[in-house]
Amino acid sequence: NAGVTQTPKFRVLKTGQSMTLLCAQDMNHEYMYWYRQDPGMGLRLIHYSVGEGTTAKGEVPDGYNVSRLKKQNFLLGLESAAPSQTSVYFCASSLLRKSNQPQHFGDGTRLSIL
Amino acid sequence: AQTVTQSQPEMSVQEAETVTLSCTYDTSESDYYLFWYKQPPSRQMILVIRQEAYKQQNATENRFSVNFQKAAKSFSLKISDSQLGDAAMYFCAYRSASSRGGSNYKLTFGKGTLLTVNP
């Protein structure tokens, strides 16, 4: 079982460039999430989605956009990358109305903005 | 808003010994779930153990157990017979059980405790 797959695993960008991180899950989960992890900060929620075609802002949404055109995919976009967006990005998914079930995480994407 | 606090940025333990990682949280809700995740150097986020707030019995998973004190809003993780493979960053996380709105399904994480296991 693949679970949650993130691509790419590593990327280096220059300030001002744009890119899209892809998250794919094969567990038929309704909920999907994007987090960023910074040293000493734990994981913080950027955006989330409660189903196909719906997205919502999390704690730190500025500078990011997301789309959920298909249930199994959740895309995170950076329109104009900034050094402050250097981080490790995690995608996660979970079942609807099963809040005692854990979120399943991808392996993360390390993104560096120069 | 809920907050999760892990007051120990780093901990160390000798192999085969027992260590306890602390976690406290702040919430006005009565129904919620608590989790401990492990993040080894490989960067994966691995669920270690979970606890439902409505259950009085502390959760256990093999060498891992929790001490859940609901009134004190405390959720510590005990690792018995520590092994070298237990070395990792450990995150405590809170999740609301409310069905109102999708945001209540998000996890709120503490900042983590880095556990070192000495041979």
* Res A40: pLDDT: 82
Q: Residue B75 is encoded by which pair of tokens?
A: 């959720």
- pLDDT tier, B107 (very low <50, low <70, confident <90, very high otherwise): confident
What length is written for chain B?
119
Q: Do A56 and B103 touch (CB under 8 A)?
A: yes
> What is the DSSP secondary structure assignment for residue A84, as one 8-state letter?
G
- How many angstroms separate the CA of residue B112 from the nearest CA in chain A? 6
* Res A23: pLDDT: 97
Contacts of B55 (CB under 8 A, 6+ apart): none
Report which of residues A1 and A30 the model is more confident about. Answer: A30
Q: Is the pLDDT of residue B33 over 60?
A: yes
- How many angstroms separate the CA of residue A43 from the nearest CA in chain B? 6
Q: Do A107 and B103 touch (CB under 8 A)?
A: no
> A59-102, pLDDT tens digit by residue?
899 999 999 999 999 999 999 999 999 999 999 998 865 566 77
Q: What is the DSSP string of B14-26?
A: ETTS-EEE--EEE
> B44-103, pLDDT tens digit by residue?
999 999 999 988 899 999 999 999 999 999 999 999 999 999 999 999 999 887 766 555
Q: Positive or negative CA dihedral for B70, B71, B72, B73? A: positive
In the structure, how many helices (H) and strands (E) does chain B have?
A: 0, 12
> What CA–CA distance (Å, rounded) separates B95 from B98?
9
Beta pairing class for A109-113 and A10-13: parallel
* Res A98: pLDDT: 58
- How many angstroms separate the CA of residue B111 from the nearest CA in chain A? 4
Q: Do B96 and A100 touch (CB under 8 A)?
A: no
